[in-house]
Structure 1
């Protein structure tokens, strides 16, 4: 059983690298189109967003299937979101701007959508470097609070994605629908758990708390 789980994890990791190999293939065979730098930048950003969405989908899937082993895959997909987001940022700095820091600074100041991308990446970076068990143990209760910022990262990433696109908005609208569904699921679970916790409070204690107020 343990061997099967390890094989499944290894297969998952291999599959997560396929988008990067696909990008390398398109670079090698000149399939990125007329504006190759922009295409490379956008492709890596798209995959960062997709892996972020997959990460957010793990909790609903785990809730429905009751498979606790999904927690490890949430961390795995989150790290790949961080990986592709880092490549996306690196492509912008090294390929698009060739590390021209003055131009980069002006671009950031003049382009509001980059602000949201920067916010999303800072959060994803923070979550990525604190994803280990050692970091979780070190941060204690603060770890869970920090990792809830993933929803802010998702919102900032969506704004970043919308503002930089022109023309066909079918794909970003599809991503927006997914994030609304995922956040809606979380809201329902939170409300359900809150109602359940209120039902478990003894009536005597509830009346005492009311009198104390």
Structure 2
């Protein structure tokens, strides 16, 4: 492993990336009492946690094309960690909405899911991300076999639904979700392009 992926030979780098993804929680713990996010702590925290989850999803999706362009770096070994962190922040987003914003009122929660479009799409996206998180273990990889990759391609429609959830929840300035939608589209198009470049590079080496 060390010879094939020299960057991973230094284990502290893995922990550095792991701990760095906790930084948003540390920032949130400081920002809420000091009103750095705004003066509506629940709404602002919901937005912050949702944004963090979406950014991590996009970073996770960027790893595969980057790995093909930079195969010696070994970025692919961090993809699962980034994906699980994205699910972690998405879970905090959902739990905050359920427990604080809706105070576990099941009738109100169900009404929101059925009648408010952005919550409907957000709920579907979260269930898709939940299925991806559950099946991310080596045991599920063995059980699903070749189907595992097919199942985990759901990350693209799930992320698209998160972007749509974001877009519909914004009342005025929709520039950020539109930009993120374009980033997602670029990452989707980058997959076949980087695969073609990677195959071409391997073919030239064999020749």
What is the match of residue 103 of structure 1? 108
Match of residue 57 from structure 2: 52
1:152 corresponds to: 157
Deviation at 1:143, TM superposition (A): 1.1
Q: Which residue of 1 aligns with 2:205?
A: none
1:46-195 equivalences under 5 Å are: 46-67=51-72, 69-189=74-194, 192=196
- Structure 1 residue 68: deviation in Å? 6.3
Contact (CA 8 Å) 2:65, 2:194: kept in 1 or not? no
Larger radius of gyration: 1
> What is the DSSP-based 3-state SS (H/G/I as helix, E as strand, rest coil) of the residue aligned with 1:21?
helix
Secondary structure at the aligned position of 2:10 is classed as helix
Further displaced range: 76-85 or 4-13 = 4-13
TM-score (norm 2): 0.87
Which stretch shows the higher mean deviation, 137-146 or 37-46? 137-146
Structure 2, unpaired ranges of 5+:
201-207
> CA–CA distance in 2 between the matches of 1:177 and 1:161?
14
* CA deviation vs aligned residue, 1:92-113 (integer Å, no higher than 9, x gap): 1011111111111111111011
CA distance in 2, matches of 1:26, 1:34: 10
Q: Distance in 2 between matches of 1:104 and 1:171?
A: 27
Is the counterpart of residue 31 in structure 1 residue 39 in structure 2? no
SS of structure 2 residue aligned to 1:168: coil
The count of corresponding residues between Structure 1 and Structure 2 is 194
Q: Considering Cα pairs closer than 8 Å and 6+ residues apart, tell me whether 1 or 2 has the greater RCO.
A: 2
Deviation at 1:173, TM superposition (A): 2.0
TM-score by length of 1: 0.84
In structure 1, stretches of 5+ residues that fail to align are: 197-213
Structure 2 residue matching 1:131: 3-state secondary structure: coil
Cα distance in 2 for partners of 1:187, 1:166 equals 35
Quote the Cα distance in structure 1 between the aligned partners of 2:10 and 2:177. 34
State the distance in 2 between where 1:74 and 1:131 align.
11
